[in-house]
Each structure stands twice: as C-alpha cells, then as structure tokens.
Amino acid sequence: MRSATAHQSDLKNGIFVTPFLLVFSCLLVIPLLWGAWLSLTKADLFGPGKFVGLANYSRLFADKVFLGSIVNTLYFVLLTVPAFAVCGLALALALNRQTRFATVMRAIFFASSVLSVTVVTLIWRIVFIPDIGLLSNIFGWLGLPQVAFLSSPKLAMPAIAIATLWWGIGLPMMLFLAALQQIPGEIYEAAALDNAKRWKTLWHITLPAIRRTFVLVLIVQCVLQFQLFGQAQLMTQGGPNNASRPVVLYVYEVAFRRFDVGMGAATSQVLFALILMAALVQYVVARRKEESR
C-alpha cells in the first residue's frame, strides 16, 4: 500500500497542475465540444439552434466552393511546409556562426516574424501590384511582359505562399539554430580529422542529430499553414474565382457573413480533422523511421 507521504505528494502535484487544467478545459476542451455540438444544429448568432443531425455536413460536401477551399488549403500547405523546413534549415546552417555578421543577419531574418499580418500583406501587395509594383518595375527593366500575380488563378496562391514564407521563416530558422548548437563540436572535429567532406558531415552527422527538430518544424508549420486566413483575406479576398480561398476564410464567410453558425462549425470540424490527420501522419512516419534505425 502507498504511504501517506506519497498521497500527500500526489495531492500537492495535483494542486500545481489544477490551474493549467482549468484554463486548458475552458479555452480548448469546452469550445471543441461546443463546436462539435453546434455542427449538428441549425443555428445563427442569436439563438440556441435546432438539432439537424448530419445535415450541415451533407450541405457542406455538396458545396463546390467548400471542396475548392480544401484543395486550395492543401495546395498552400504543400507549397509552404517543405519550403519552411528547407529554407529554415539552410538559413540556420549558413548563420550558425559566432560572428557579428551572423548575429545581425539572424536578427534581420527573424524581424519579419514580429510584423502583423496587415503590414506583411501591405508590403507584398506593393511588390505584386501590377504596373507600379516592385516586380512590375523589375520586369519592365528586363523587357519582360507584366504579370498580374494576385489576379491570376494560377499565381495567386503561390504569391500568398511567398509572402507567408517571408513572414514566418524566422521561427523554423531559430528552432534549427537551437538544435544545431546542441551538437557537440568534438564530433565535427573528429570528422575533420578523418577528412570528411562537408556534404558527408551534413548527411551523416548534422541531419541525424536534428531529425527530431525537423519533425517538430514540419508538424508546427503544418498546423499553422492549414489555418491560412489573413493573407488570403487581405491580398486577394479569396479570388480570383475562389482560386485562393482557404478553408478558414470559408468558415469566416459562412459563420459571420451568412450567419450560418451550424455550417461554419461543421466546416471547422472538418478542418480540425484534416490538421489532426496531417500531424499524426508526420509523427507516425517519423517515429517508425526512428525505430527502424
């Protein structure tokens, strides 16, 4: 039987974690359950709603705009998540030096992360805007034809992806830098004594040492980029012809412009399932690779 001291210790531990559990339940668990209930009702912003079962989901999957928003969101995730991982790692490798220049460059690359989405989209609208934008002027100097990035169905989403990459590259860069600085220098010294080339050192020492950080960056960015909203709303408003409309923008329009809260909640549940599946797939694949080593 457990002693009275052990029970007292459990009680003290429980008291310490109780505030966190209360906040976690109020801000995450209860809204999640309430959203799941709302998705089964026909509700607006001014009433309790009426239970309609899976009717909202049936309407949702019959809506071509919603299906298109899922395709747009997946396309955006495929554009940005690998780019965040590769560019963040490349920047971290280039700036992993104890020099003043590297410190200044790290600060410059991270500075964009503290800007608001409004400022970021304003900057990139100036870059992409036709006729008088930065890229239009560069194309004019080179004698190339003008390209309307934000008005083109094929280029609107890549343009938003570029702006997002510029905005958020600071976080993965700093995560990779923290991981790189945890690798003991003696390992690199031993590799240098064995005349190991840079590529072999990167492939056989650096990448295996930071693989958990790599998985973390992929999962974090996957969760973040599935929630694309502000950039698409401010740069293209989901256009042209719904080509850049993500799922979160669809939720906003359905729930707060059409006041169809039940259908908006159903859309949110589908988005939650997509994010959960994507994160779990990456975690399981990374775990199996680690166990097979």
What are the φ/ψ torsions at residue 150 (nearest 5 degrees)? -80, -10
SS3 61: helix
DSSP 77-124: HHHHHHHHHHHHHHHHHHH-SSSHHHHHHHHHHHHGGGS-HHHHHHHH
Residue closest to 185 by CA, chosen among 75, 74, 98, 245: 98
Per the listing, tokens 């830098």 go with 177
pLDDT at 187 over 80: yes
pTM (two decimals): 0.87
Same domain, 86 and 132: yes
In angstroms, rounded to a whole number, what is the distance separating the alpha carbons of residues 95 and 80? 22
Question: Which CATH number covers residue 288?
Answer: 1.10.3720.10
Burial of 160 (0-12, 13-18, 19+ CB in 10 A): buried
> What would the two tokens of residue 83 be?
């780019």
Mean pLDDT throughout 128-135?
Answer: 84
Print the domain residue range for 94. 54-292
- Determine the average pLDDT of the residues in 255-263: 89
The pair of structure tokens assigned to 228 is 């694309």
Q: 206, 227 in Cβ contact below 8 A?
A: no
In a domain, 162, yes or no: yes
Residue 139 lies in a domain: yes
76 and 155: one domain? Answer: yes
Do residues 25 and 147 share a domain?
no
pLDDT score for 81: 94
Q: Binning pLDDT at 50, 70 and 90, where does residue 2 land? A: low
Do 109 and 146 lie in one domain? The reply is yes
Q: Quick one: 9 and 148 in the same domain?
A: no
Position 45 in a domain: no
| Number of folded domains that form the chain | 2
The reported pLDDT for the residue numbered 1 is 54
Cβ atoms of 36 and 121 within 8 Å: the answer is no
Calpha distance 117→5 (Å, rounded): 53
Co-location of 148 and 11 in the same domain: no
Domain match, 81 and 225 both: yes
Residue-wise pLDDT for 19-59, tens only, equals 888 998 888 889 889 889 999 998 877 777 788 889 999 99
Nearest by Cα to 112 from 81, 136, 88:
88
Do 77 and 12 sit in the same domain of this protein? no
